[in-house]
Structures are given as structure tokens and as C-alpha cells.
Structure 1
Amino acid sequence: MTSNIAELLNSMLRDEREYPVAAIFNSIAHRFREIFRKRYVEVDNSKTTFVPVAEKMLRENMTKGDKLYVNNINGSTNEFTVLGYGRSAKVNLSRRSCSYRKYDLVKLPCDHAMAALRLKHGDEYDTNIYNYSSQIYSKESYLLAYLEPICAAPLESEWSVE
């Protein structure tokens, strides 16, 4: 395993190094087409609302959020104080934010936001979590991202030189 993307691509293209540049680009395009095709099929066949990785994160955050205590001091329907593990967090559902910033950055309800959603929506809150999540994680968005084809570069023999 390597953390450097250039080293990773270099190792993937070890056999193609001596080929012309257009052939190297075609090899890269072919490999990425295959990876994207597999990802498309995997997500398209899933029975979830969001992509599997996002669904897993949501379920884990729901489990963690079930162990937290929620307080709604000011009576607002969107502002909550969440307590647990010796610390507190402020959650604002209308802004989709948490004072720990994970919700703000990842755009999926964190464990604190899940606890707030549980108080706001009761036992049926699991059906509302998608309304408080970014749609970039939806199956439709993901499938659209992988829909465009990757075009190969023309080989030198295909170029017309006059």
C-alpha cells in the first residue's frame, strides 16, 4: 500500500511504461472504466436510499446517538443540547450543524444530531434522517457521477498528419 497517488499509478502502469503516451492514456482510461463500471453496478443493485458507505455511517451514528441524552432548553424545534461521555454538544438541525463540526463537514447527521433527531421525531426518526443529510450521498447522485463515459485518446496511427 502506498499513500502517494503518483507511486500508486506508477505501480499500476509498470507494464505500460515503454508504450507511447496515447497507449498509456488508453490503459488508464480502460482501468478506470472498469473500476467505475463495478462501482456503478454495486450501488445500482443496492436496496438503500444512500450509497452503502453513507448508510453504514448513518446506522453507526444512530447507534451512538441512542446512548446520548438530549435537552431542548429554549423550546426551539431545531436547537438542542446533547450530553454524553462527559461532554456536551450544541446541535442546530435547521443549519445542519453541530458544535463538534463533524455534521457540518461530512454533511451526514453525526451521533449528536441523531440524538436530536430522535427527540424531535420520536421513534420514527430513522425515516427522517435523509431529510437532514446531503443528497450527494444519494444513489441517484452517485450513479449520475459514474454515468459519463471516459473516452480514450486516439492512437498515433489514427491521427492524420498533412
Structure 2
Amino acid sequence: MKQKWKGQAAKNLYWKCVYATTPQTFNKAMKQVFTENKELYDWLKEIPPRHWSLSHFTGRALSDLQLNNMCEVFNRQLTPGRDLPIISCLKFIREYLMKRIVKVHMKIAKCKGPLTPNVTVSFKKIKKDATKCNVIWNGATKYQVSGPNQEQYVVTVDQRSCTCRMWDLTGIPCKHAVACIFDMGEHGLDDGVPEKWVDKVYWLETWKNVYAHTIDPINGQEEWAPSPWPTKLTAPKHHVRIGRPKKNRKKSAVEIELLSQKVGKAKKLPRKGRTVTCDICKQPGHNKRSCKKRKTGDIREAGGLGTQVDATDAAGCSGV
């Protein structure tokens, strides 16, 4: 998308479709894309929305993230260890994880409150927005909630669900649900603490349990005990490939397929439309390998660079 549509306008249209939580909101956002950018609309229609829009997510995985930055950051940290032999590579990963767990332990020790730090900040804004909502109770477990922007949704408290689908998708009560929890606290139906309605995946105690384990240090390789395995393992035949070793992450089959559909089977931007210039004769339309002057002997290469030598210069050089 960045290769075809530059600027902030197309980006804003795209993110409106991404953050739409209901099919109705998604269709409305797509209509706006169709009105303002027909080509972008046709491009987005080719990609199933269940892969990129909240409105078509199932809610099975509770998450408030729409990007895979965590995976990319972790993958970047492992880049220096990829070129090492397998034992050294595993040692690099083990030592990195040891240091990472310690850093998380130090961060957890500074945290206060029932929720993780990032969720605490975002939930504070949700509670502030909830004070602007109007709540009507049906006498059972459902509430009708109206917002300041003329929106109206139904909250089912016992099922932890709201028709805006934000609570269903993330596990964090939306502003409509928080307004209902405040109303329950005022009428004695609940203690009115919205934090306890947040899913356990965002609790600080859950974060502590995830990083409760540690990785023990080990001795150096010279202190390792000989293996009792009777079979002798021999090193496999290794063939050194020509060229510089690749350091980029290997793309999955899905990434390769999507990329090939957009920029060709070469899986990179094509050179179609670009003019090649010869490094020897400086003429466009060919490179130095197919240069006619080089083939006819008019070009002599010195030090890896093509240098044209005429008859006068050759005679002068031979005289010297």
C-alpha cells in the first residue's frame, strides 16, 4: 500500500477500516474509501477483511494490538546470533532471554495496581469517556448505553459483551460497559470497580506468573560431561555457497504469495522502466558485460575498471 499510495489521506482511510469493530461501521468506512479513492477500494477488496479489520475478528484471541511489532522487535534482537554456529546461536538466545527476564522482573517490581502499566493508562481514558455516557437498565442483565456522538449500544454484563464488540475483542471493558459498571455501583448491584471486570490476561499478577520462571546459567563448553550416547555423531557435509550469506528473515509462504501478487514473481520491486547505463562507454541501453567496445578489444581493464586506450596513448606508453 505504501508503494502505491503516498501521503496521510490514504493512510487515514485505511485505519478507519481497520479500527471498525462492527460490520456496519466497516461498511461505512469502506464506502468512504470508495468515494475518495476508488483504486484503494479495489485493492482492499481483494484482501479478506478477517485478516486486517477488527470488525471481522472472532474475538478468540483477546488482544488490543493490531500490529505484530512485538514479533518484529524480538526477531531483530536475534539478528546478531543468526550467523553463528548452532551451539553459539543457542547460547546467544539463552543469554538474551536471561537478561530480558531480569529486566521484566525489575519493571514489574516498580508497578502498582491490579493491571499492567500500559492497560492502566489506556483504561484510565476509557473510564473518563464513560462518564459522558447515558445508561438505561432493563431490570435484568442488559443496559442501553448512549454516547455523546449519538451512538447507542447494548451491554450484557453477565456475558461481558457489548454490541460495539470492543469488550468482546480485547477483553477490556469499553466505555459503554464501564458506564454500566458505574451505574451498578450507584444502585448497590456491584462494588462499582471496573478494573475487576478486565480479563485476567491484563492483570499484573498474570504478568508476574508469565515471567515467574528463570533461566539458569551453565558452565562453559570445556566443563561439559562427555555424552554417554554410544553412537558417534559426525558433522554433515557442508557446501559453502557462492556469494554473501543472507541475513534477512525468511518470509513465510503467505508473505511470498501476497508480495508476488503485488510486485511480481521476483518478490522485490521490478526494474521495469529503468534504463541501464554501461560503466565502460557510459552509453545507455546495455551494461559492461555486453559492451561492444569491450568485445572488440577497444577497452582495456586495469585495476578492475574499464579504461579506453587509443592508438596514440598506446604508442606513447610503449615509448616510455
TM-score (norm 2): 0.43
Counterpart residue number, 2:102: 37
For 2:116 and 2:70, how far apart are their aligned partners in 1? 26
Number of the residue aligned with 1:88? 152
- The aligned counterpart of 1:121 is 185
Number of residue pairs matched?
158
What RMSD over aligned residues (CA atoms) do the two structures have, in Å?
3.1
Asked if the contact 2:182–2:192 (Cα under 8 Å) also holds between the matched residues in 1, the reply is no
Structure 1 residue 48 corresponds to structure 2 residue 132? no
Q: Is the 8 A contact 2:181 2:192 kept in 1?
A: no
- Runs of 4+ with >6 A deviation: 123-126, 152-156
SS at match of 2:153: strand
Q: Is the 8 A contact 2:81 2:93 kept in 1?
A: no
Q: Residues 123 and 159 of structure 1: is their aligned pair in 2 closer, same or farther, counting only changes over 3 Å?
A: farther
Counterpart for residue 251 of structure 2 = none
The structure carrying a bigger helix percent of its residues is 1
The DSSP-based 3-state class of the residue aligned with 1:57 is helix
User: Percent same amino acid among aligned pairs?
Assistant: 19
Normalization by structure 1: what TM-score?
Answer: 0.79
Asked if residue 62 in structure 1 is aligned to residue 62 in structure 2, the reply is no
Distance 1:4 1:131, change over 3 A: closer
2:173 to 95, 109, 113: 109
C-alpha distance 137-156 of structure 1, shift in aligned 2 (>3 A): same
Q: Give 5+ residue unaligned stretches, structure 1.
A: none
Query: Does the 8 Å CA contact 1:90/1:98 hold for their aligned counterparts?
Result: yes
Q: What per-residue deviation string (whole Å, max 9, x for no partner) do you get for residues 71-111 of structure 1?
A: 12x222x3101111121111011111101111112112111
Q: Which position in structure 1 is the counterpart of 2:8?
A: none
The answer (yes or no) to whether the contact 1:22–1:154 under 8 Å persists in 2 is no
Structure 2 residue aligned with 1:160: 226
Give the SS at the match of 1:71. Answer: strand
User: Which whole-Å CA distance do the structure 2 matches of 1:3 and 1:136 have between them?
Assistant: 19
Describe the shift of the 1:82–1:115 C-alpha distance in structure 2 as closer, same or farther (beyond 3 A).
same
Find the aligned partners of 2:185 and 2:73 in 1 and give their Cα distance: 49
Partner amino acid for 2:95?
A: H
Contact kept? 2:142, 2:154, Cα under 8 Å: yes
